[in-house]
Structure 1
């Protein structure tokens, strides 16, 4: 069974400003921030009802088109892979956001299909929304995205950025798994995905016979229910399944990486390591693991702690110009120089 104990400890956490959130982000733990966005006009509209919330969002519509997911009632709102390899159990459609929002509103009464409109940059699609519904927990350069739809279950996935998810209308249930659970979640292909990130084949599936290790992941799971005005801080790489529980559900989220030293991502480094290391003999992989631990993960501290800082060379602080020096070296090596 999933645990809520660790979640309850975090539910009362006070995160008052961006500095508090940055300090907490260093722990790489999720946190619930109850009622933090209850003063948003969008949330007030959501508390009056789903159609009221959609009408409020529509006030800001810039008239653009967007892709959205659509599925029949038999889907039960669970967007996932289809029965055949390479397929999905839903349709991707493109229309104006006004049409998509009207379709979501219509479905809320009929229930004969589900529509899911996701990850729309608010500044482009709904200009003015962010100014009426501000977030003081992040810098002005971190911009919101909007998600709206009917009842749905979004497959368990991870994000490569930190995530602040703010519920505007409807209830959301997040089922969280720590990064270390990846081996027990039976992850699908990384190059054939529902919406950019690989997903768990086991989470939300019926029957455990095909995924015997999933029980270990379930033992580490955390489940949280969010009401309008609540927010969830979700660290990067935490796996999460997201259930929208009401006929109309709206969420605003913010993605950012507060600890990036430059434009290069850890994911890019992992992909390069896959082609450089993954299929070498087991004993050689173990040797390289020792080097990665020593130079990258540093469980015993800085690899040149035994030398004065002035002798650390490119292993000195990245902010002192070593980011660019190492990047130049890497690019030269990739070019065969």
Structure 2
């Protein structure tokens, strides 16, 4: 095993930490006897998820809407779900929880809004398309909702299924400052740091400044042959051109002159900036991520 690269770890300390991700510290999965389910034994972690809401009274609306009760219970549940790698287990845990909530439409509607707030809101530090995908799968099949209500969730469901980790990122054409056009797939690099930004977004400016002006980070990206592809998808050419000086000359700075990214929902741009990390074949390594998480990924894979 190679020794850890000091510059990688130094970058973690230099770059501002916007959000912290949860890590599963469980050292193993102990089997329990659940023969009464008629299924193969499940791990203690799975059992905790499946029985997480057993003692929670969905009929007690006051408890449900109490932030220290209902909302806190959901936040703890979501942390456990985010740590679980198996989609079938996540689906089952959410199915069990929402089936329990169905006994009270007020409770059901409340938790659906909380799921959206925590998992899909662009400003939520806990946003997680993988977990929200399980919620959406439930909503488009439940008998509690009308066909019209279900249809309202289908566009979002299709969107969260795009550009998932392991998939090839949606290709698109963009315009360069010199007027030439090229495609995302044309990028030649070990990694592509794809950032969709809005020239008026203060958080975008902070991220871009860190990416451009942190010497250790610039060195790291050069060392690992990371190509930054910065795309303005919002369609205001004047603002895009005026913002050119804020970006590094080493980056690819593109403009979606035909607004296809937004028109065809090629990427889910619910927040600015939106960041993806792609491998040399343009497969998604990190989806809708943060600069700090990209650095952490490099630390883990290059140590």
Taking structure 2 as the reference length, the TM-score comes to 0.25
Higher strand share: 1
Taking structure 1 as the reference length, the TM-score comes to 0.23
